[in-house]
Homo-oligomer: A and B are copies of this chain.
């Protein structure tokens, strides 16, 4: 699971560990604060299997080191700000000193790209936090072939339909539930229904997009996620 997330991020840019964590937390919201105890071993694992290459960014440079040298092209917003800050500090104090703590920047390899595609296109693992797994795959769905993308959406819909049946069976059979448990089961059922209708919208717009790539592509794209958003309760 985490491998997919890491490879997905690295397939678009190179990052160091700490920033992968930030990206996952701030942008996707999945893996709310992924633990370092997961992240760093995962990076080591991926490096060992040749999927990524980590280059140590050494803070001490024996070379004369012009201003651009100690900045290892992080490309991230936070990273760039940090680099700029330290560049200012370094210029003001001692240009031989490093930028901050040494960091290890990871780049994806061709092997890693192949692994990413396999993980993304392969069968979803059942049971292991299905919602998170699907969310992650959806966030990288643009890398999938159109028909694989549709398959992803429909498999998730099937999953939710099964879940809804279980929810409703629970609600029907739980005659001796207290009011709190009953409310919980009802709410869970509603949430599953909400998820299903969201997926229905996604599937519908995906089919439209694939069936009619010409003839008003602008309108098709607007329907895309716009209809799902329009259904949002205003609170």
Give A182's nearest chain B residue, CB to CB: B225
Given contacts A127-B33, A139-B181, A181-B139, contact A194 B225 (CB under 8 A): no
Are A225's CB and B139's CB within 8 A? no
Q: A197 an interface residue at 8 Å Cβ cutoff? A: yes
**Which B residues are in CB contact (< 8 Å) with A193?**
232-233, 235
Let me know if B181 and A138 touch, CB within 8 A.
yes
Q: Report how far A142 CA is from B138 CA in the complex, Å.
A: 39
Classify chain A's interface size.
Answer: 35 or more
Q: Identify A183's interface contact among B29, B180, B184, B229, CB under 8 A.
A: B229
Residue A26 is within 8 A (CB to CB) of chain B in the complex: yes
Residues of A within 8 A of B (CB): 26-29, 32-33, 127, 135, 138-139, 141-142, 166-167, 170, 173-174, 178-191, 193-198, 202, 221, 224-225, 228-229, 232-233, 235
